[in-house]
């Protein structure tokens, strides 16, 4: 039986992981706390840890897990910006879930956009108080508008297909364009200048940190709508707030936030929120914030559990090879994934 410390457990995680764990010889030790330097010792006696987007897996945590005999860090997410993969190389193997349901995230992106532009959230609140006035609810047609998509991986391309269904013109930016996808790629500055809507679908790394900043916002159309369902730090939140206050940004739809780690996924309705920046963003009438829920569908949760358990079984199997391992053996985190034939170390 493979023992796994499952950090940052939520009620919706357990059913799928229990089902796949029981049938594949994986025993989960569910922990509500997040993984960090203070909680790493809770993994004592476990073969692996299973972590999510707001767990801290820095060098100090990796060293402590290694000292405890932990052999695997299994991410139940696609992104791995919270893991020091370079430091883990040669000590602890790291695996992730590269695709669980790109449709879930792309559809939530469009749901946010529709709710914002057509003022659906405002109309819902009004009619519950029997206020049927239409004043202040005027939106705009998507048809004929230009949407700029930053990042054209699976999620980005599905979102592009959805936008095309609305009759929108699509331009995109990606340092690694999808060959033969029929997508019009432009330079990032050109995307900023052309787009009525900008949607972010790229990973967070040194090259994408604060892609949306004060300089970028200055190049955008007045009234642009910005949507982010990827990673919070792709946007400089202070610059975003300034853009909203100056009326340069017409609306913002955020499923992620730069400093979300100690806020999202918890009920804080009975507490005073210490994060003044997030409080101010939420207070804006043209901002919609959801709590990192774009991934949250039955299909996605099932796929995440199935792939994570499969990753764990593969790493502890006879040859220890897992197609979803992340490492620095080739000098790049994902370079050798497509033709991996042996363990990274």
Please answer whether residues 340 and 323 qualify as being in contact, where contact means their C-beta atoms are separated by less than 8 angstroms: yes
Which residues are bridge partners to 50 per DSSP?
A: 6, 74
Given the residues 107, 258, 260, 325, select the one marked as catalytic: 260
Q: Which segments of 189-254 are extended strands (E)? A: 197-200, 224-228, 249-254
The span from the CA of 20 to the CA of 97, in Å, is 15
Given the residues 119, 157, 201, 292, select the one marked as catalytic: 292
Phi-psi region of 104 (alpha: psi -120 to 50; beta: other; left: phi over 0): alpha
Q: Provide, for the chain, the percentages of residues in helix, strand and coil under a 3-state DSSP scheme, each rounded to the nearest 5.
A: 35, 15, 50
Beta strands at 325-326 and 93-95: parallel, antiparallel or unpaired: antiparallel
Burial of 66 (0-12, 13-18, 19+ CB in 10 A): middle
Given the residues 119, 231, 258, 325, select the one marked as catalytic: 231
Is 260 marked active-site?
yes
Q: How many helices (H) and strands (E) does the chain have?
A: 11, 12
Is 238 marked active-site?
no
- Write down how long the chain is: 345
- Determine the 3-state secondary structure of 51 from DSSP: strand
Could you write out the DSSP letters of every residue in 243-271? HHHTTSEEEEEES--TT-TTTTTS--TTS
Q: What's the Cα-to-Cα distance from 246 to each of 190, 242, 250, 251, rounded to whole Å?
A: 22, 6, 10, 12
Which residues are bridge partners to 146 per DSSP?
A: 169
φ, ψ at 40 (rounded to 5°): -60, -35
Return the active site residues: 231, 260, 292
């Amino acid at each position: 039986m493979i023992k796994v410390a499952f950090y940052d457990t939520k009620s919706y995680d357990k059913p799928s992981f229990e089902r796949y764990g029981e049938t594949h010889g994986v025993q989960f030790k569910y922990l509500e706390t997040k993984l960090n330097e203070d909680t790493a010792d809770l993994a004592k006696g476990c073969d692996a840890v299973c972590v999510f987007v707001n767990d801290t897996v820095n060098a100090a945590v990796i060293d402590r897990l290694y000292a405890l005999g932990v052999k695997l860090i299994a991410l139940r997410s696609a992104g791995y910006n919270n893991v020091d993969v370079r430091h883990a190389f040669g000590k602890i193997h790291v695996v992730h879930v590269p695709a669980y349901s790109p449709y879930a995230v792309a559809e939530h992106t469009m749901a946010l956009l529709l709710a914002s532009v057509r003022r659906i959230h405002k109309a819902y609140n009004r009619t519950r108080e029997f206020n049927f006035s239409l004043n202040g609810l005027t939106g705009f047609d998507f048809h004929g508008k230009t949407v700029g998509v930053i990042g054209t991986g699976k999620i980005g391309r599905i979102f592009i297909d959805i936008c095309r269904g609305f009759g929108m013109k699509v331009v995109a930016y990606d340092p690694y364009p999808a060959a033969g996808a029929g997508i019009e790629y432009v330079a990032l500055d050109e995307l900023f200048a052309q787009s009525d809507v900008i949607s972010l679908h790229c990973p967070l790394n040194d090259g994408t940190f604060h892609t949306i900043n004060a300089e970028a916002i200055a190049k955008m159309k007045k009234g642009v709508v910005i949507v982010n369902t990827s990673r919070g730090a792709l946007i400089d939140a202070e610059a975003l707030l300034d853009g909203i206050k100056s009326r340069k940004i017409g609306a913002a739809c955020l499923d992620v936030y730069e400093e979300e780690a100690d806020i999202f996924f918890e009920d804080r309705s009975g507490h005073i929120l210490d994060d003044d920046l997030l409080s101010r963003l939420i207070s804006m009438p043209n901002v919609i914030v959801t709590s990192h829920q774009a991934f949250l569908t039955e299909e996605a949760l099932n796929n995440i559990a199935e792939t994570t358990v499969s990753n764990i079984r593969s790493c502890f199997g006879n040859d220890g090879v897992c197609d979803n391992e992340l490492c620095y053996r080739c000098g790049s985190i994902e370079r050798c994934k497509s033709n991996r034939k042996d363990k990274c170390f």
